[in-house]
Amino acid sequence: MLISLNGAVVRYPRQGMLAVFRPEGDVSGVVLAVHGSGRGIDDYSCTPFYARQRDISLENSYAFAILENGPDTYGTDEGLFNLTLAAEELRGLFHTDQIVLWATSAGGVCALRYAAENKKNVSAFIGTFPVVDLNSVFPILASCRRAWDAENLTPEEFAAVIRYKNPPDFLDNLRGLPMFLSHGIADNAVPYSENAAVLEHIGAKLHTIPDGVHCTEDYRYYEQAPYAAFHYLH
Q: What is the rounded average pLDDT of the residues 200-220?
A: 96
Question: Would you state the pLDDT for residue 44?
Answer: 97
pLDDT in tens, 150-199: 999 999 999 999 999 999 999 999 999 999 999 999 999 999 999 999 99
- Given a cut of 90, whether residue 86 has pLDDT beyond it is yes
Neighbours of 118 (CB within 10 A): 16
User: What residues does 29 pair with on adjacent strands?
Assistant: 62
Separation of alpha carbons 65 and 58, rounded Å: 10
pLDDT at 48 over 90: yes
Answer whether residue 234 shows pLDDT above 90.
no
Distance CA 134, CA 153 (A): 14
Q: Are 41 and 66 in contact (CB under 8 A)?
A: yes
Average pLDDT value for residue range 23-51: 97
Q: What is the CATH number of the domain that holds 11?
A: 3.40.50.1820
- How many domains does the chain divide into? 1
DSSP state of 12: S
Please give the residue range of the domain that contains residue 160. Answer: 2-233
Residues in contact with 222: Cβ distance below 8 Å, sequence separation at least 6, in sequence order: 52, 53, 56, 128, 182
For 66-77, write each residue's pLDDT tens digit: 999 999 999 999
Residue 95 CB neighbours (<10 A): 7
Average pLDDT over every residue of 211-228: 97
Average confidence score pLDDT of the chain:
97
Residue (of 182, 89, 188, 88) closest to 137 by Cα position = 188
84 vs 177: CA distance, rounded Å: 18
| Contact of 11 with 70, CB cutoff 8 Å | yes
Average pLDDT over residues 142-151: 97
pLDDT number for residue 62:
98
Over residues 114-126, mean pLDDT: 97
pLDDT exceeding 70 applies to what percent of the chain?
Answer: 100
The pLDDT assigned to 49 comes to 98
Residue 179 pairs in a beta bridge with 125
Using the predicted structure, report yes or no on whether residue 43 has a pLDDT greater than 90.
yes
With H, G, I as helix, E, B as strand and everything else as coil, classify residue 137.
helix
**Contact in structure between 147 and 112 (CB atoms under 8 Å):** no
Q: Is the pLDDT of residue 136 over 90?
A: yes
